[in-house]
């Protein structure tokens, strides 16, 4: 596998991008790449002529007091993963390359879907995320863009943006990659002490317990998941919800069909999120 071209400036990127023929996939990341990111690159590689990875820690989607300053930066090993997975081109710009005029005055608004769940805890986060995703899509000009189901609300909002704004790109979702014990891979897992990591397992365990109750209706799913979380007082739960995957509204008791069980909790100093798509079945 030959090493990807690495572009740090817009000119370097445009030069390398112009040499690519055929379909182009993009995988957008904030760096600190792990097997979840590698899986996205692999899926992109399997279905497209060219794969571009962006590595950009977007200040616009971090509020004051969040973890921007301590977020792991591991460019050398990120590039090794990009090479191993067969990426053709990596765009790793600094903030002043992406925002040459400083913070953008005009931004994408996530609308009502951006104010619930993660948006309720992180005001402005989704506007900042969609703004940079829009910019990177404009810079890259891909056929397809790949995002993880791990960030379900982000994936939903990017799909809505592409549809609502008639953007000429296909958005592809990729299932969450987990450790052998169920913990969802995340760049933020490096913040977890050994003990925190044990505590953090309650998130995926709660989701699994909820999933196991899917044929008994929404209340049973919520109860089963909550039961796991209450036994782990060191996980400070922000939300545990069973929602419609399109509207993000809590599903009523008579609901049957596709739903999303999602959880967010603080473990030690780290805010973790996880979710599982499930089909609520059984008799009404």
Phi, psi (deg, nearest 5) at residue 212: -65, -25
Stretch that binds ligand AMP, among 80-88, 142-150, 241-249, 261-269 (CB under 6 A): 142-150
Among 17, 37, 144, 271, binds ligand AMP (CB under 6 A): 37
Give the binding-site size for ligand AMP (rule: CB under 6 A): 17
As measured in angstroms, the least distance from the Cβ of 146 to ligand AMP is 7
SS3 assignment, position 108: coil
Regarding 200 and contact with ligand AMP (CB under 6 A), the answer is no
In order of 135, 183, 210, 224, 274, the CA distances from 205 in angstroms are 37, 9, 9, 10, 10
Stretch that binds ligand AMP, among 34-42, 43-51, 194-202, 234-242 (CB under 6 A): 34-42
37 given a catalytic annotation: yes
Q: Tell me if 105 sits within 8 A of 127, measured CB to CB.
A: no
Stretch that binds ligand AMP, among 13-21, 148-156, 160-168, 248-256 (CB under 6 A): 148-156
Regarding 185 and contact with ligand AMP (CB under 6 A), the answer is yes
Regarding 156 and contact with ligand AMP (CB under 6 A), the answer is no
Q: Measured at CB, which residue is nearest to ligand AMP?
A: 148
As measured in angstroms, the least distance from the Cβ of 283 to ligand AMP is 34
Q: How far apart are CA 69 and CA 197, in angstroms?
A: 22
Regarding 118 and contact with ligand AMP (CB under 6 A), the answer is no
Regarding 61 and contact with ligand AMP (CB under 6 A), the answer is no
Instruction: For ligand AMP, give the closer residue by CB, 116 or 172.
Output: 172
SS3 assignment, position 258: strand
As measured in angstroms, the least distance from the Cβ of 172 to ligand AMP is 10
CA Rg, the chain, in Å? 19
Q: Which helix (H) or strand (E) holds 267?
A: strand 257-267
Among 177, 203, 225, 260, binds ligand AMP (CB under 6 A): 177
Q: What is the DSSP letter of 139?
A: H
Regarding 151 and contact with ligand AMP (CB under 6 A), the answer is yes
> Closest Cα partner for 243 from 196, 275, 204?
275
- Residue 148 assigned ligand-binding role: yes
- Residue 260 assigned ligand-binding role: no
Burial 187-218 (b: 16+ CB within 10 A, else e): bbbebbeeebbebbbbbbbbbebbbebbeebb
- Residue 37 assigned ligand-binding role: yes
> Closest Cα partner for 197 from 275, 261, 272?
272
Burial 39-71 (b: 16+ CB within 10 A, else e): bbbbbbbeebebbbbbbbbbebbbeeeeeeeeb
- Residue 193 assigned ligand-binding role: no
Instruction: For ligand AMP, give the closer residue by CB, 36 or 93.
Output: 36
Regarding 174 and contact with ligand AMP (CB under 6 A), the answer is yes
Beta-sheet strands, E only, within 175-234: none
Binding positions for ligand AMP, rule: CB under 6 A: 29-30, 36-37, 39-40, 147-148, 150-151, 174, 176-177, 184-187
**Residues labelled as active-site residues:** 37
């Amino acid at each position: 596998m030959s090493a990807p071209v690495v572009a740090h400036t817009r000119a370097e990127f445009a030069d390398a991008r112009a040499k690519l023929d055929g379909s182009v996939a993009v995988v957008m990341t904030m760096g600190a790449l792990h097997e979840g990111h590698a899986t996205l690159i692999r899926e992109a590689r399997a279905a497209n002529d060219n794969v571009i990875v962006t590595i950009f820690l977007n200040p616009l989607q971090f509020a004051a007091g969040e973890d921007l300053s301590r977020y792991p930066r591991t460019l050398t090993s990120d590039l090794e993963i990009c090479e191993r997975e067969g990426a053709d081109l990596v765009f790793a710009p600094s903030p002043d390359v992406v925002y040459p005029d400083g913070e953008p005055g005009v931004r994408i608004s996530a609308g009502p879907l951006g104010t619930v769940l993660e948006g309720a805890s992180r005001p402005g986060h989704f506007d900042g995320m969609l703004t940079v995703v829009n910019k990177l899509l404009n810079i890259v000009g891909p056929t397809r863009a790949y995002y993880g189901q791990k960030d379900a609300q982000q994936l939903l909002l990017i799909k809505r943006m592409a549809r609502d704004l008639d953007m000429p790109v296909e958005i592809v979702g990729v299932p969450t990659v987990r450790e052998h014990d169920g913990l969802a891979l995340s760049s933020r897992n490096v913040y977890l002490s050994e003990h925190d990591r044990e505590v953090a397992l309650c998130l995926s365990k709660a989701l699994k317990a909820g999933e196991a109750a899917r044929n008994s209706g929404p209340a049973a799913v919520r109860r089963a998941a909550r039961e796991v979380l209450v036994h782990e007082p060191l996980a400070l739960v922000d939300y545990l919800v069973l929602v419609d995957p399109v509207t993000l509204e809590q599903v009523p008791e008579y609901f049957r069909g596709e739903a999303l069980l999602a959880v967010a909790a603080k473990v030690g100093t780290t805010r973790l999120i996880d979710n599982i798509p499930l089909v609520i079945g059984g008799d009404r």
